[in-house]
Amino acid sequence: MVTIFTELFGVQTYMVNGARTNKKTAKAFLYQPAAILELDVYHNDLKKMHRIREANWGFLYSTILSDVIKNSIALYMVELLYKILKQPEHNTDMYHFSEDALKHLDHASNNIAANFPLYFSLHLAHFLGFKISNPYRRPDAGKIYIDLVEGIFTDQQPAHQHFIEGENALITSELLKVMQPGELDEVKLNHLKRRELLLNYQDYYALHIQDFGEMKTLKILQEVLG
């Protein structure tokens, strides 16, 4: 039994035919986290579980399944999707964004890959209706904050504790302006700053997604990124 984010039906649960045959190992290898597959399925809107008739690779990764760092980043992306996709309705735009992001990660340089969790976390929120708006454009101003409850930049400290301030707010603004993953190479950050920002973004999701909880892959990601 596998849970898959599909282009046509959103997140769905499938029973894999032939999983107990002699080809079980080969079949199981297809269903790794972050795998991009082409599926022939039996789908019934009246059922909660469906069957996969046939599955093949839709895209063959060069590095994600073998590189420890990129695999950890991909697992983070998959867990984030799993936490936000609570209903089966389709979201084609989100699907294409996620698939494209994984393909870019596969060929990314080390610096781009290290910034990828930040980029993916920020831009994925767009498809959920709570992307942080109004990127900051006045570097000469004094104070800068991001109100995580409202999802906006402001020069006034929010009355609550859910906000990002100063340098982290400025970096977030730059990341929000990134339209293509290749541009992440221009964002120079150390591992401590990335760790702070990822924790900020986890808090942001927890404020806007009911029962979001904690990201289990976040600690692993922090360790492999240094």
- Segments in 48-190 forming alpha helices (H): 68-84, 92-106, 110-124, 166-176
pLDDT at 84: 94
pLDDT at 20: 52
* Residue pointed to by tokens 């707010």: 169
Helix 110-124 vs helix 92-106: crossing angle, to nearest 10: 170
Contact 24, 14 (CB under 8 A): no
pLDDT per residue of the chain (226 residues) written in tens, 0 to 9: 889 999 999 999 888 866 555 555 567 789 999 999 999 988 887 777 788 888 999 999 999 999 999 999 999 999 999 999 987 788 999 999 999 999 999 999 999 999 999 999 999 999 999 999 866 666 555 689 999 999 999 989 999 999 999 999 999 999 999 999 999 999 999 999 999 999 999 999 999 999 999 999 999 998 888 7
R_g of the chain, CA atoms, integer Å: 19
Cα 197 to chain center, whole Å?
Answer: 14
Q: Which CATH architecture has domain 63-224?
A: Up-down Bundle (1.20)
Domains of the chain, by residue range, sit at 1-60, 63-224
pLDDT at 47: 73
CA atoms of 114 and 134, how far apart (whole Å): 25
pLDDT at 6: 94
List the structure tokens of 133.
Answer: 């708006």
Contact 221, 198 (CB under 8 A): yes
CA atoms of 119 and 178, how far apart (whole Å): 8
Positive or negative, the CA dihedral 92, 98, 102, 104 is positive
188: three-class secondary structure by DSSP: coil
pLDDT at 21: 54
pLDDT at 96: 97
pLDDT at 89: 80
